[in-house]
Amino acid sequence: MDLLDLIDTIQSIADGVLFGTTYALLGIGFTLIFGVMHKINLSFAAASIGAAYASLLILSAVKAPAVVVFLMAAAAGGVLGGLVYLVGFKFIPLANPLATLMSTVGLLLLIDEIIVHTTAGVPLNYPALFSDVIVPIGPFNLRGDLMFVFVLGCVCMTVLLLLLYRTKLGLATRAVSQQPTASQLCGIGIMRVNILTFVITGVVGGIAGAMTGAAIGMLSPLLSLPLTVKGLIVTVIGGLGSIPGAIVAGLVVGGLENFFQFLRGVSERDLYIMLLLFAFLVFRPGGIFTVAAGRD
Amino acid sequence: MLDVTDLVTAYGKIEALKGVSLQVEGGKITCLLGPNGAGKTTLMMTIAGVLQPRRGSIRLKGAELAGLSPARIVSQGVALVPENRLVFPHMSVYENLLAGAYQRHDKAGVNADIERMYARFPQLHERSEQMAGTLSGGEQQMLAVARALMSQPRLLLMDEPSLGLAPLIVAEIFNIIAELNRDGTTIFLVEQNAHMALQVAHQFFLMEQGRITFKGTPGQLAEDEVIQRAYLGTRRAAG
C-alpha cells in the first residue's frame, strides 16, 4: 500500500464519519423512544425517509431553496412522529411486547408502499447545500455537502441534549424513562411525555432523512430498510437507551462502512458491519458505554 | 379531610379491595396496619390515581378524586411516598426534588422549598449533585419524602417508609413524620412496623383481606393484639 492508497483510505473514512451523523441521529431516535416507552419503533427510519419525501412536495408547488426543504422535512417528521404514536402505540396494549413491534412493522411497510405508489418507485432528486464547495485540507478534500450534513447533525444533537438536560420537558422525559410510576406520582403526565417524545424524535428523523437525501443526492424507497437496519445496529452498539452511545456508534459505523466499501466494494461492506454488530452482541451486549440510561 | 367510601379495586377478576371505607382527619396522623397482601399498597395506589377503582368514592374535602389522573390528584394536593421509595436513580438529588415540583411554576418558591428541604435533611444537601441511585436506603427514603413534599401537599400518603431500613434510621424517619405533622401536614401512613406506627399515630385502621376490620385510637386495643392481627390476620390468630 503506497501513500496514495493511504490518503484515499483516510479520505473515505472521513467521508463516512461525516455521513455517520445521519446514523447517529437515527440511533438517537430509536434510543429515545426505547428510553421512555421501553418499546422499539421499527417504523422510525421509514418515517424519516417519508418525511424527506414529503418535504419535496413543496418543491412541486414553488421553487424553494434547499434550506426551506430541510425545514419542511423536519416539520413533516414531527407530524409523522405524532401519527406513528397515534396509530402504532396509543391504542395498542403496551403490556404485550410483540403487539407494538407488529404495529410498527406494519407502519414501516405502509409508509414504504405509500412512497412507492406515489412516486412509481422512481428515485427523486434531493436538493443539497454547498454541493459545489470542496475544502482542501492538505492532500484531503472535504465535500461541502457532507460537511453541511455533519454540522447540521451536530447542531441537532446539541439542541437535543440541551432539551433533555436543561429543560423541564427533558427532566420529565428522563423521569418517565427511569421510573414511570414515580413520575406519575410527581404529577408528570406520561402520555403527554410519550407524544412529545415521538414528535421530537420525528423532527430529528425528518432532518436525518433530509440529510441522507442531500448526501446521496436523491431519495429512493429502497433507502428505508437499510436505514432501519443501520439505525438499529447503531442503537445496539451504542447501548439501548444511551444517547452518547448512539452518537459515537453512529460516527463509528459511518466511518467503518465507508472504509470497508473502499477496501472491499459496496456489495461486501454491510457484511463487516454485521460482523461488528455480532462482536458487540457477544462481547459487549450492553453497548459501548455499557451502563445504559434505561430502567434501573 | 379524606373520605374513602366503599372502594373496590381489582386486578382482573381478583378484587384486592372489597369495599374499603375509612376517614383521615385533617392535621392528624392516621395509620393503616395489616398483614402482607391485605391490599394496603393497592389502596394507596388507588388514592393516588395510579390504579383506577372499579367502584366507590374518594373525596378530599368533598371533592371527588376517583377517576382523576395521577397528575390531577397531585394538583389537588395529595402526594404519595411510594413503597420502595422509587427515586429516579440516574438523576441527581437536586433533579429529583425538581421533578417533585413538576407542576409548580413559581421558580423562586420552588428554589426556596429546595433550600428548606436541604435544611430539614442535611444529608440531601451534602449529596445534592450525587445520583440518587447511589444513596443509601435511608437517604433514598428521605429523598422520596422530600420529593413528595415539593408538590406542597395538603395530604401526604406514605407507603411503608420503614421498609428495609435499620432501626436507627426507622426511628429517624418516624421523628420526621411526627415533625411534619406538627408543621401542619396531614399524614396517612401504611406500616408493617406496628410498634413504631402506634407511637406516632392519632388513629389507626386494621385492614385484612381487602376489608377494614378495626378502627380506633392506639390506646383502644392492646398492642400485642394489634400486632397479631396486623401480621397474622384474625383468622389464623383465632385458630
**B94 falls within a domain:** no
- pLDDT score, position B237: 44
Query: For A166-177, how does the pLDDT look when each residue is reduced to its tens digit (9 = 90+)?
Result: 999 999 999 999
Residue B174 lies in a domain: yes
Q: A22: distance to nearest CA of chain B, Å?
A: 28
> CB-based burial of residue B141 (10 Å sphere; 0-12 exposed, 13-18 middle, 19+ buried)?
buried
Pairing of strands B186-191, A134-137: unpaired
Domain that holds residue B213: 2-85+153-238
For chains A and B, CB pairs below 8 A equal: 69
Distance of CA A181 to the CA centre of its chain: 29
d(CA A89, CA A82): 10
User: Do the Cβ atoms of A92 and A100 come closer than 8 Å?
Assistant: yes
Nearest Cβ partner for B99 among A171, A189, A296? A171
Residues of A in contact with B143 (CB under 8 A): none
Query: Is B34 a domain residue?
Result: yes
Question: Which of these, A156, A195, A206, A237, lies nearest to A45 by C-alpha position?
Answer: A206
Q: Cβ neighbours of residue A60 under 8 Å, at least 6 residues apart?
A: none
pLDDT at A131: 81
Q: What is the pLDDT of residue B161?
A: 93
Coil, helix or strand at residue A111 = helix
Q: CA-CA distance, B208 to B216, in Å (whole number)?
A: 15
- Cβ partners under 8 Å of residue A176, min gap 6: A36, A183, A188, A190, A193, A194
- Report the first-to-last Cα separation within chain A, whole angstroms: 49
Determine contact, residues A12/A259, Cβ cutoff 8 Å.
Answer: yes
- Do residue A181 and residue B74 have CB atoms under 8 angstroms apart? no
At residue B55, the pLDDT reads: 93
- pLDDT recorded at residue A295: 42
**Residue of B42, B90, B107, B152 to mutate when probing chain A, most A C-beta within 10 A:** B90
List B155's β-bridge partners, or say none: B78, B186
* B138 vs B164: CA distance, rounded Å: 9
- Spans of chain B below 70 pLDDT: 232-239
Distance to chain B for A258, nearest Cα, Å = 36
Per-10-residue mean pLDDT of chain A, 296 residues long, equals 85 93 96 90 96 90 86 96 94 86 95 94 88 85 90 94 94 94 95 95 96 92 94 94 92 95 90 94 86 45
In a domain, B101, yes or no: no
Q: Which of A178, A179, A185 to mutate to test the interface with B (most CBs of B within 10 A)?
A: A185
Q: In the block, which residue shows the cell 429543560? A: A167
Structural domains in chain B (count): 1
Tell me what pLDDT residue A293 has. Answer: 44
Domains of chain A: 3-283 (1.10.3470)
C-alpha cell belonging to residue B10: 381489582
In sequence order, what are the beta bridge partners of B215? B205
Q: What are phi and psi of B87, to 5 degrees?
A: -75, 160
Residue A120, by phi and psi: left (phi above 0), alpha (psi -120 to 50) or beta? Answer: left
Distance from CA of A192 to the nearest CA of B (A): 11
Tell me, what CATH number does B8's domain have? 3.40.50.300
Instruction: Write out chain A residues lying below 8 Å of B79, CB-based.
Output: 185
Tell whether B108 is covered by a domain.
no
Read off φ and ψ for residue B80, nearest 5 degrees. -115, 130
Within a domain: residue B26?
A: yes
Q: Is residue B123 part of a domain?
A: no
User: Is A185 close to B133, i.e. CB distance below 8 A?
Assistant: no
Q: What is the helix (H) or strand (E) element at residue B110, kind and residue range? A: helix B107-120
Cβ-defined contact of B88 to A182 (cutoff 8 Å):
yes
Which neighbouring-strand residues pair with B7? Answer: B20
Rounded to 5°, the CA angle B205-B211-B214 comes to 35
